[in-house]
Amino acid sequence: MVAVATIETSEELTWLFELFGTSQSPTTIEYLVRPSADEVRLLLPISPPPAAAAALRRVHSDRTWSQRLQTVGGRAAGRLGLLGRAPGQVVRLPAFELVEHLARTLGEPELLAAVTLGVRRRNRKPVLQLLRPDGRVVGFAKVGWSPLTTELVANEHRILAMLPGQLPPSVIAPSVLAVEHWRDLTVTVTSELRPPPLARGSAPGIGHIVSAIAAARPGPDCGVARSATLTEGIELGLGDVVDIDRLVNRHDGVVLSTGLWHGDFTPWNLVGAGRSVMIWDWEFAALDRPVGFDALHHLFEFHRRSPGGTNERALEATMLGARNALNAVDPDLTPTRRRAIVDLYLCELAGRERRLSNQRWSGGDLATLDGAVTTLLQRRLQ
């Protein structure tokens, strides 16, 4: 039975409608809300069936075969008009005014949207999968609604605008379709990356991918004291939690190669497709970072999200695996350069923690790792 919900019945739905606005048209849309209207992580249109099936297309490299097969089964249910029977809560809601605005911008008068909010975390932002009624995905819209998320959405647009023609054919990033400043929101619409439904990591090795990303926007060779990680981190107050002078003295004379880093190079942000790899979510990307940061971050997040993983355990596992991870990027790295890259990577994480502080949501699985990072850095600099 369909629950006829008002916006006020759910704090999270109320927040979404405050951001997106309520359409003045009498049209209402039936959604499957998962896991429930009180804890919105996914908002999936139930009809028409082709759009419902397309809304369930979620593919990335950290998913198991069982999860992938469940997705295929869910898409089949969507095509048969049975999505409303899936786990979750079925609600009927007014249309979003923002979706109507994007429909006009993109020239798609019948545009629908599936909304992903994900877990409550500090950089939480709505992501709209924009759909035609026939199931074709028009693109994905990220919505910057706070100073932090607006900065991240704008940064992703800036980075993606640099990449066309710079990446090798084996590394594929989305293209920017539109950038909108609507009311108090910043919205970037990017193209869909669509691998085969059961795609799974027959992609180039991690070291090759990291090198290719860095080479897309190569930076200058530089010493630790002039690294962008430190100069930008100091502006964020990194010196309050890291002994910058000791760090610089420890690595005096070390010169590092720099370039672009993705910034969130994790298994759930990429998928192998044949001999290529598709990579999305470039919002934390930055220029002039030591080549190898992405390899360390991939290792760190892999351990962090593993069963029983904690910030402390993941950092220690990253320290143990850093040599192999960095050698896969550059087999000619000396031990002194490797150590400098690792220390600067930890500074990058500490600086990011400064950016992520004092946001609307905190705690949970993605709670701050500031204490773990700074404790490890202090130990390494003794």
Domain boundaries, the chain: 7-190, 206-380
- Among 105, 151, 114, 117, which residue's Cα sits nearest to residue 133? 114
> Residue 64: its pLDDT value, please?
45
184-209 burial by CB neighbour count: b if 16+ within 10 A, else e? ebbbbbbbbbebeeebbeebbebbbb
Predicted pLDDT of residue 83:
56
Residue 127, Cβ density class (10 Å: 0-12 exposed, 13-18 middle, ≥19 buried): middle
pLDDT of residue 171: 93
Q: How many CB atoms within 10 Å of residue 3?
A: 11
* Lookup result for tokens 């990429």: 270
Rounded Cα distance between 17 and 378, Å, is 45
Given strand 127-131, what is the order of strands in its sheet?
89-94, 28-36, 39-45, 112-116, 127-131, 137-144, 185-190, 176-182
SS3 374: helix
Query: Among all chains, which residue has been given the structure tokens 């095509």?
Result: 79
Residue 331, preceding bond cis, omega within 30 degrees? Answer: no
**Quick one: pLDDT at residue 310?**
87
CATH class for the region spanning 206-380: alpha beta
* Residue ranges in the chain whose pLDDT is less than 50: 1-5, 59-80, 201-202, 365-366
Residue ranges of alpha helices (H) inside the chain are 11-20, 49-55, 65-79, 97-106, 147-162, 206-216, 228-235, 244-250, 293-304, 311-329, 335-356, 370-380
Q: What are phi and psi of 64, to 5 degrees?
A: -75, 165
